Amino acid sequence: MIEQREVLRTIDMIARQKLDVRTITMGISLFDCISDDYQRCRDNVRAKIERCAKNLVPVGEAIENEFGIPIVNKRISVTPISLITQSCGHPEAFAAALDNAARAVGVNFIGGYSAYVQKGMTPQEEAFLSSIPQALSETEIVCSSVNVATTRAGINMNAVRKMGHVVVDTAQATAEHDGIGASKLVVFANAVEDNPFMAGALHGIGEGECVINVGVSGPGVVCAAIEEHPDADLGEIAEIIKRTAFNITRVGQLVAQEASARLNVPFGIIDLSLAPTPAVGDSVARILEEMGLATCGAPGSTAALALLNDAVKKGGIMASSHVGGLSGAFIPVSEDAGMIEAVHSGVLTLAKLEAMTCVCSVGLDMIALPGDTPPDIISAIIADEMAIGMVNSKTTAVRVIPAPGKKVGDTVDFGGLLGHAPVMPYTDSSPKRFVDRGGRIPAPLHSQRN
């Protein structure tokens, strides 16, 4: 039972420290929409989304107004479309159906234009991957994800090689908007089935008919809590973060329970990820600097981020029995004012970001690269990040944007929560021969747990 006093405790967090519920995401199963006639299947998909989610936005707004808790986004995730189109093809037609259905019910984004190809690809799945650039360039709020590796299966390097080209082609297809299409595309290792955050949200095959997942966020709250204890040692800092994460998660639990009851849809999980925004005071980088780093990216950054990620998870798990999704700290460059500043100063590099992804909740996120970055470089960056996820049995991801016409030192502005990103340099020693070998990188020894 969540008491009113717990809501009152959050007032200062909301008013001064930018606490918000980042998203209420409704997951919808589309398996009953399958048909070998792609037009019938597409129409079934659109009709079901509109039927299930018709009240999602009004209910979210009502909860927001009643409790005074900002709910930034209302979103939908669906069964991976590559599964739904196996027998009928024409996946790009489903991207338009998703976009139209999502607009009809008024949500901000819809995720699930997705595929799982960590061990191999059917011809239909390979065609699906090829459809992604068109799908994301012809829609505005559809998001796509592709899982190319797991700890159990290893890394599908054929899919990794393919995704390097897909990322470049998606950016080129949206060149008039600085390659924004690539900002809606993420490549995963160990993707989870209940992630409410975009661009990687999808409704996994182990999920039920319909579910409500809530993502909360509060980097500013955590930073303010640490700021109040300037002389605390790192063990004490961990305890402070745990207590703060507990309070943040309880807010999400309240919203999730209310949304579930009012929509008559089962409650799934709370994802308590610290998801930053470009707004001042809403930065994960600032938390690390408040711990004592001069600049995010300086030596010590990986250790500080590990402390933060662990403490957030521990505090959240004590607050809710249904913590899921990714739950930890995100480090998207374009969406974090402190990260942007650290890149401009030259302290935060692509190599340091990769090291930090070993201990954060996702991976290389919202990073702008020069527009002429070759596909094999993108593929190699993906492969490196997938290896981190595979070996460490964790979710990792790559969301990079090779911004057409931009070079190192330029800035790409995506607007809104996506923010703006300085174009970062990469090591241009060619990995093409390695990437072109294809095949599979075998799973690590510790995958054989049974």
Here the CATH number for the domain that contains residue 409 is 3.20.70.20
Q: Does a structural domain hold residue 311? A: yes
Write out the DSSP string of 239-293.
Answer: HHHHHHHHHHHHHHHHHHHHHHHHHT--EEEEE--B---SSTT--HHHHHHHHT-
CA distance 243 to 254: 17
DSSP strand pairing (440-441 vs 154-156): antiparallel
In this structure, are 303 and 357 located in the same domain? yes
Q: Does a structural domain hold residue 56? A: yes
Q: What is the DSSP letter of 184?
A: G
Q: Give yes or no for a contact between 293 and 223, defined as CB atoms under 8 angstroms apart.
A: no
Beta bridge partners of 413: 420
Taking only the tens of pLDDT, the chain with its 450 residues reads 445 555 555 666 665 556 778 889 999 999 999 999 989 999 999 999 999 999 999 999 999 888 888 888 899 999 999 999 998 888 989 999 999 999 999 999 999 999 999 999 999 999 999 999 999 999 999 999 999 999 999 999 999 999 999 999 999 999 999 999 999 999 999 999 999 999 899 999 999 999 999 988 888 889 888 999 999 999 999 999 998 888 888 888 888 999 999 999 999 999 888 888 777 667 899 999 999 999 999 999 999 999 999 999 998 888 888 888 888 888 888 888 899 999 999 999 999 999 999 998 889 999 999 999 999 999 999 999 999 999 999 999 999 999 999 999 899 988 777 888 899 999 889 999 999 999 999 998 888 877
In this structure, are 300 and 393 located in the same domain? yes
Q: Does a structural domain hold residue 363? A: yes
CA distance 28 to 193: 12
Burial label for 412, CB within 10 Å (0-12, 13-18, 19+), is buried
Q: Does a structural domain hold residue 450? A: no
Alpha-carbon dihedral angle through residues 224, 225, 231, 234, given to the nearest 10 degrees: -120
Q: Is 303 helix (H, G, I), strand (E, B) or coil?
A: helix
Q: What is the pLDDT of residue 13?
A: 61
Domain that holds residue 38: 27-189
Q: How many domains does the chain have?
A: 2
HSE toward the beta carbon, residue 141, CA cutoff 13 A: 19
In this structure, are 344 and 301 located in the same domain? yes
